[in-house]
Structure 1
Amino acid sequence: HPGIEIKAQYVPTGDALVQKLITAIQSQTAPDIAWVHADFLDKLAQARAIYKMAEFISGPEGLSNEELNDIFPPLLQAATWCDTLYALPMEATSLALLYNKELFRQAGLDPDHPPKNWQELREFAKKLTLDKNGDGKFEQHGFLVPVFPASGDLNIWMVLQWTPFLWQAGGAEINAAQTQVLFNSEAGVQALTLWKNMYDELGMRTFSMAHDMAFASQRLAMVLDGPWNLPRYREMNNVDWAVAPLPAGPAQRATYLAGEHLAIFKQSKHPQAAWQFVKWIIQPEVQASFSMKSGYLPVRRSVLEMKEYQDFLATDPALKAFVDQMNWGQARGAIDNHRVEINRFLAEAIEKATLGKMDPKTVLDEAAAKSNKLLQKQQ
Structure 2
Amino acid sequence: MIKVKYEIYPWKGYYDKIKAAVAAGKGPDVAELGLPNNFAIEGVLLPLDDFIKKEGDAFVKDFYEGPWKAGINPIDGKQYNIPWFTAVRIPFWNKDLMDKYGIKEVPKTWDEFLKVCELIKEKSGGQEYCFAFGGQWSSYQLPWVWQAGGDLVSPDQRKATIDTPEWKKAIGLLKSFIDKGYAPKACPTWKGLQVEGLFKSGKVLMVYDGPWFIGDLQENTKINFIVSEPLEGPAGKYVFAGADSLVIFKNTKHPEEAWLFIKYMVSPEVQEKWCKVSRFFPSRYSVKNPFGDDPYMKIFAESAKYGKMYPPVASFAGVWGKVKPELEAYYLGKKSLDEALKKAQEEAQKAVDKWWTEKAKK
TM-score, length of structure 1 as denominator length: 0.78
* Partners of 2:90 and 2:208 within 8 A in 1: yes
**1:253 alignment partner in structure 2:** 237
Would you say 1:54 and 2:49 are equivalent positions? yes
Q: Which residue of 146, 150, 169 maps to 2:134?
A: 146
Q: Verify the 8 A CA contact 1:166 1:183 in the aligned structure 2.
A: no
CA offset at residue 355 of structure 1? 4.1
Q: Distance in 2 between matches of 1:21 and 1:141?
A: 46
Report the equivalent of 2:139: 160
Comparing 260-269 with 236-245, greater Cα deviation is found at 260-269
Question: Partner of 2:336 in structure 1?
Answer: 359
Matched, 1:225 2:209: yes
Secondary structure of the 2:152 match is coil
For the structure 1 residues 6 and 117, does the alpha-carbon distance in structure 2 shift closer, same or farther, using more than 3 Å as the test? same
Q: Give the superposition deviation at 1:298.
A: 1.3
Please give the alpha-carbon distance, in whole angstroms, between the structure 1 residues aligned to 2:22 and 2:322. Answer: 28
> How far off is 1:56 after superposition?
4.6
**Higher alpha-carbon deviation: 88-97 or 317-326:** 317-326
In angstroms, what is the RMSD of aligned CA positions? 3.4
Q: What is the match of residue 110 of structure 2?
A: 118
Residue 166 (structure 2) pairs with residue 182 (structure 1): no
SS at match of 1:302: coil
Match of 1:343 among 314, 317, 320: 320
Question: In structure 2, the residue corresponding to 1:350 is in which secondary structure?
Answer: helix
Give the superposition deviation at 1:342: 1.0
How many angstroms does 1:212 deviate by? 3.5
2:214 corresponds to 1:235:
no
Structure 1 residue runs of 5 or longer lacking an equivalent are 149-157
Secondary structure of 2:233's match? Answer: coil
Q: Does 1:368 align with 2:352?
A: no
Aligned to 1:153: none
Give unmatched runs, 5+ long, in structure 2. Answer: 358-362
Distance 1:284 1:250 in 2: 32
Amino acid at match of 2:299: A
1:9 alignment partner in structure 2: 9
SS at match of 1:223: strand
Answering whether residue 72 of structure 2 is matched by residue 80 of structure 1, we say: yes
Instruction: State whether residues 4 and 273 of structure 1, in contact with CA within 8 Å, keep that contact through their aligned partners in structure 2.
Output: no
How far apart, in 2, do the equivalents of 1:19 and 1:364 lie? 36
How far residue 185 of structure 1 moved from its aligned partner, in angstroms, is: 0.6
Q: What is the one-letter code of the residue matched to 1:352?
A: A
C-alpha contact (below 8 Å) 2:81/2:245 kept by paired residues = yes
Shift of 1:33: 4.1
CA distance in structure 1 between the partners assigned to 2:175 and 2:320 by the alignment = 19
Amino acid at match of 2:344: A
Q: How far, CA to CA, are the matches of 1:22 and 1:125 in structure 2?
A: 49
Which digits, 9 at most, give the CA deviation of each residue in 1:276-328, with x for residues without a partner? 44222211111112223333221121122xxxx37x44x12222323343454
Find the aligned partners of 2:274 and 2:342 in 1 and give their Cα distance: 43
Aligned residue in 2 for 1:325: 303
Write the letter of the residue equivalent to 1:90: W
Q: Is the partner of 1:221 in helix, strand or coil?
A: strand
Relative distance call for 1:270 and 1:165 in structure 2 (3 A) is: same
Amino acid at match of 1:3: K
Describe the SS at the equivalent of 2:208: strand
Change (3 A) 1:199 1:24: farther
Distance in 1 between residues matched to 2:7 and 2:15, nearest whole Å: 19
User: 1:115 and 1:66 mapped to 2: Cα distance?
Assistant: 34
Q: Is the 8 A contact 1:104 1:128 kept in 2?
A: no
* Structure 2 letter corresponding to 1:67: F
Specify the SS of the correspondent of 1:142. strand
CA positional deviation for 1:358? 2.2
SS at match of 2:250: coil
Shift of 1:229: 4.2
Number of aligned pairs? 349
The 5 A counterparts of 1:37-48 are 37-39=34-36, 41=37, 43-48=38-43
Matched with 1:301 is 285
Partner of 2:232: helix, strand, or coil? Answer: coil
Q: Percent identity?
A: 23
Q: Which moved more, 1:164-173 or 1:180-189?
A: 164-173
Letter in 1 for 2:153: I
